[in-house]
Chains A and B, each alone.
Chain A
Amino acid sequence: MRQRTTLAALALFAALFVASSLMSDFFKVTQVTLPDGSRAWRWLISAGMPRLGEYIEMTLPTLRWQSFLSDLAEWFWRWDIWLRLLVETILIAFMATTLGVIGGFLLSFPASRNLAPNRWVLWISRRYLEIARTVPELVWALIFVFCFGVGPMAGVLAIGLHACGALGKLYSEVNENIDMRPLDGVKAAGGSWFDQIRYGAVPQVLPNIISYTLLRFEGNVRSSSIIGYVGAGGLGQEFRTAMSLQDYTDLSALFLILFVTVAVIDWGSEKVRHRFIEKENHR
Chain B
Amino acid sequence: MTHRTLHISGVTRRFGSKTAVDNVTLDIAPGQFVGIIGSSGAGKSTLLRLLNRMVEPSSGEIRFGHREVTKLKARALREWRRECAMIFQQFNLIERLDVLTNVLVGRIAAHGFASSMVMRFSDAERQMAIEALDRLGMTEHALQRAGTLSGGQQQRVAIARALVQKPQIMLADEPIASLDPGNATRVMDALRSINREDGLTVLVNLHTLDTAREYCDRIVAMRTGRIVFDGVAGQLTREVVRDIYGGAGTDEFNEAITSTRLPLPELALA
Nearest residue in B to A182 (C-beta to C-beta)?
Answer: B94
**Are A188's CB and B108's CB within 8 A?**
no
A187 to B96, CA, bound (A): 17
A204 to B145, CA, bound (A): 13
- The stretch of B5-13, B18-26, B84-92, B124-132 that contacts the partner chain: B84-92
CB neighbours (8 Å) of A57 from chain B are none
Asked if A50 is at the interface of the complex by the 8 Å CB criterion, the answer is: no
Asked if A152 is at the interface of the complex by the 8 Å CB criterion, the answer is: no
Decide yes or no: A190 and B93 within 8 Å by CB, A185-B158, A195-B108, A199-B105 being known contacts.
Answer: no
Pairs across A and B, CB under 8 Å, 8 listed: A185-B93, A188-B88, A190-B80, A190-B109, A191-B108, A194-B116, A204-B94, A206-B96
**Considering the complex of A and B, which 4 residue pairs feature the smallest CB-CB distances, nearest first?**
A190-B109, A185-B92, A190-B82, A203-B96
Asked if B54 is at the interface of the complex by the 8 Å CB criterion, the answer is: yes
Asked if B165 is at the interface of the complex by the 8 Å CB criterion, the answer is: yes
A242 to B161, CA, bound (A): 66
Residue in B79, B85, B119, B145 whose CB lies within 8 Å of A188: B85
Interface size in chain A (residues, C-beta < 8 A) = 20
Nearest residue in A to B92 (C-beta to C-beta)?
Answer: A185
Asked if A184 is at the interface of the complex by the 8 Å CB criterion, the answer is: yes
**Are B88's CB and A185's CB within 8 A?**
yes
Nearest-neighbour CB distance to chain A for B130, whole angstroms, equals: 18
Residue in B78, B80, B119 whose CB lies within 8 Å of A191: B78
Decide yes or no: A181 and B90 within 8 Å by CB, A188-B85, A189-B106, A190-B109 being known contacts.
Answer: yes
Nearest residue in B to A198 (C-beta to C-beta)?
Answer: B117
Nearest-neighbour CB distance to chain A for B96, whole angstroms, equals: 4
**Are B85's CB and A189's CB within 8 A?**
yes
CB neighbours (8 Å) of A194 from chain B are 113, 116-117
Range for the number of chain B residues in contact with chain A:
20 to 34
Asked if A186 is at the interface of the complex by the 8 Å CB criterion, the answer is: yes
Nearest residue in B to A280 (C-beta to C-beta)?
Answer: B96
CB neighbours (8 Å) of A195 from chain B are 105, 108, 111, 116
**Are A190's CB and B94's CB within 8 A?**
no
Asked if A177 is at the interface of the complex by the 8 Å CB criterion, the answer is: no
Interface string of B44-68 (1 = CB under 8 A from A): 0000000010100000000000000
Asked if A200 is at the interface of the complex by the 8 Å CB criterion, the answer is: yes
Asked if B255 is at the interface of the complex by the 8 Å CB criterion, the answer is: no
CB neighbours (8 Å) of A206 from chain B are 96
Q: Which residues of B pack against A, CB within 8 Å?
A: 52, 54, 78-82, 85-86, 88, 90-97, 101, 105-106, 108-109, 111, 113, 116-117, 119, 145, 158, 161-162, 165
**Are B94's CB and A189's CB within 8 A?**
no
Asked if A283 is at the interface of the complex by the 8 Å CB criterion, the answer is: yes
Nearest residue in B to A179 (C-beta to C-beta)?
Answer: B95
**Are B86's CB and A188's CB within 8 A?**
yes
- Which of B90, B91, B105 is the most central at the interface, judged by chain A CB atoms within 10 Å of its CB? B105
**Are B109's CB and A189's CB within 8 A?**
yes
A182 to B91, CA, bound (A): 8
**Are B97's CB and A188's CB within 8 A?**
no
**Are A189's CB and B95's CB within 8 A?**
no
A96 to B261, CA, bound (A): 59
CB neighbours (8 Å) of A30 from chain B are none
Asked if A192 is at the interface of the complex by the 8 Å CB criterion, the answer is: yes
**Are B92's CB and A198's CB within 8 A?**
no
**Are B97's CB and A190's CB within 8 A?**
no
Nearest residue in B to A197 (C-beta to C-beta)?
Answer: B117
Residue in B81, B93, B145, B165 whose CB lies within 8 Å of A187: B81
Nearest residue in A to B173 (C-beta to C-beta)?
Answer: A188
Residue in A182, A190, A192, A283 whose CB lies within 8 Å of B92: A182
Nearest-neighbour CB distance to chain B for A281, whole angstroms, equals: 13
- Which of A182, A195, A204 is the most central at the interface, judged by chain B CB atoms within 10 Å of its CB? A182
**Are B108's CB and A190's CB within 8 A?**
yes
Nearest-neighbour CB distance to chain A for B49, whole angstroms, equals: 9
CB neighbours (8 Å) of A185 from chain B are 88, 91-94, 105, 158, 161
CB neighbours (8 Å) of A190 from chain B are 78-82, 108-109, 165
**Are A192's CB and B78's CB within 8 A?**
yes
CB neighbours (8 Å) of B119 from chain A are 198-199
**Are A189's CB and B93's CB within 8 A?**
no
A204 to B88, CA, bound (A): 19
CB neighbours (8 Å) of B78 from chain A are 190-192
Interface string of A150-191 (1 = CB under 8 A from B): 000000000000000000000000000000011011111111
**Are A200's CB and B94's CB within 8 A?**
yes
Within 8 A of B (CB), among A177-235: 181-182, 184-192, 194-195, 198-200, 203-204, 206
A190 to B88, CA, bound (A): 15
A204 to B92, CA, bound (A): 13
A263 to B126, CA, bound (A): 48
